[in-house]
Amino acid sequence: MKTQLATSLVEGQHVDSVFAMRARELRSTRHGEAYLAMEFADRSGAVAGVMFKPDTAALAIPAGTVVCVQGVVTTYRGVMRISVDDMRPAERYDVADLLPRSTRERKEAVAELRRLVDAVRDPGLSRLVRSVFRDAAFFRSFASLPASVAEHHAYIGGLLEHTLAVATACAAYQTVHPGLDRDLLLAGALLHDAGIVDAIRLGAGFELTTEGRMLGHAVLGERRVRQACASLGDAVSAETATHLSHLMLSHHGNDDGAVAPCSLEALVLSRIDALDREAAAFASSLKGALRAEEEWTDASNPFGRPLYAGDAARLRSA
């Protein structure tokens, strides 16, 4: 197991370790000399990298490659980075060293998912949800994939964790608005990100598939659930299937040209999904401040403003 982790490196430390090279860009200094700017990542997070006067072999390595990196940790304008002396594709590596994973115990998370699936009482929707999750290949991927490539829950097990959060909140919200179709909302919450299984794959990092890039996970998920409905014959009515399709296609609100929520169940699902995505991104943005036991983060985060981490920092140092 690798011991030099991206987020635990300190200035002046010599580096000889394996990383996934997430991004690379050939740039020029003010004097016209070529250098590579890179982002390296492992299970702990990411660190910048720079290689001045890269040789032909280094220039030929594409982003997405797992590389052996030798160099030293330096700081430039307050940013920690690895100044690379040598970099070559890794011949051997353990993928568990490179991809972050949920801290939640998988067995407990799977048991909670089963409880939520059992809570769908409508006979047709219950059969539908069970049929989707009963597919062994689907469920292996569902329990292992992240919920996104980088935006939120971007770690092994993140999709399952996010689904549990959204489904639990949707089930609880029905008590606030009794007019909600509880089973339709819960089924939509459990299945809303089913398309991630077809949209994201595991490689040196988390990568979008061609279908994921061209169609998006909402369309892919709706397609998968429609096929499951068809396989069940008349178990799910055409009207219910259409409503469920609407929940899946509109769960990101009207962002990026997606379908806007047109039912109360779709609105609640989209808002709860957005809240969990945003809360997870917020919590992730606090990690640097927590490690440094700082009260505030800087503004270099997805929210574009300093974020308060004081209470958490004090608890950590107590």
pLDDT in tens, 158-193: 999 999 999 999 999 988 888 899 999 999 999 999
Whether 307 shows a pLDDT value over 50: the answer reads: yes
Residue listed under structure tokens 């029905």: 174
pLDDT at 257: 56
Query: Predicted confidence band at 293 (pLDDT cuts at 50, 70, 90)?
Result: confident
Share of the chain above pLDDT 70, in %: 96
Whether 3 shows a pLDDT value over 80: the answer reads: yes
Sign of CA dihedral 289, 291, 287, 39: positive
pLDDT at 318: 44
Whether 114 shows a pLDDT value over 90: the answer reads: yes
Average pLDDT over residues 233-261: 88
Query: Predicted confidence band at 311 (pLDDT cuts at 50, 70, 90)?
Result: low
Share of the chain above pLDDT 90, in %: 69
pLDDT at 97: 86
What is 99-282's CATH number, 2.60.460, 1.10.3470, 1.20.120, 1.10.3210? 1.10.3210
Query: Predicted confidence band at 297 (pLDDT cuts at 50, 70, 90)?
Result: confident
CATH hierarchy code of domain 6-97? 2.40.50.140
Whether 30 shows a pLDDT value over 90: the answer reads: no
Query: Predicted confidence band at 317 (pLDDT cuts at 50, 70, 90)?
Result: very low
CB-based contact 190:183 (threshold 8 Å): no
Average pLDDT over residues 198-209: 87
Whether 314 shows a pLDDT value over 80: the answer reads: no
Higher pLDDT: 71 or 257? It is 71
Looking at residue 49, the DSSP 8-state letter turns out to be E
Residue listed under structure tokens 């109360």: 264
69 bridge partner residues: 17, 87
- For residues 142 and 40, give the distance between their C-alpha atoms in angstroms, rounded to a whole number: 26
Which of the residue ranges 20-29, 96-105, 226-235 would you say has the lowest mean pLDDT? Answer: 96-105
Domain boundaries, the chain: 6-97, 99-282
- For residues 30 and 220, give the distance between their C-alpha atoms in angstroms, rounded to a whole number: 46
Q: Is there a shared CATH topology between the 6-97 domain and the 99-282 domain?
A: no
Whether 265 shows a pLDDT value over 90: the answer reads: yes
CB-based contact 1:94 (threshold 8 Å): yes
Q: How far is CA 34 from CA 54, 62, 64, 70, 188, in A?
A: 7, 17, 21, 19, 51
Query: How confident is the model over 31-56, as pLDDT tens digits?
Result: 889 999 999 989 888 899 999 999 99
Element (H, E) at 34: strand 34-42
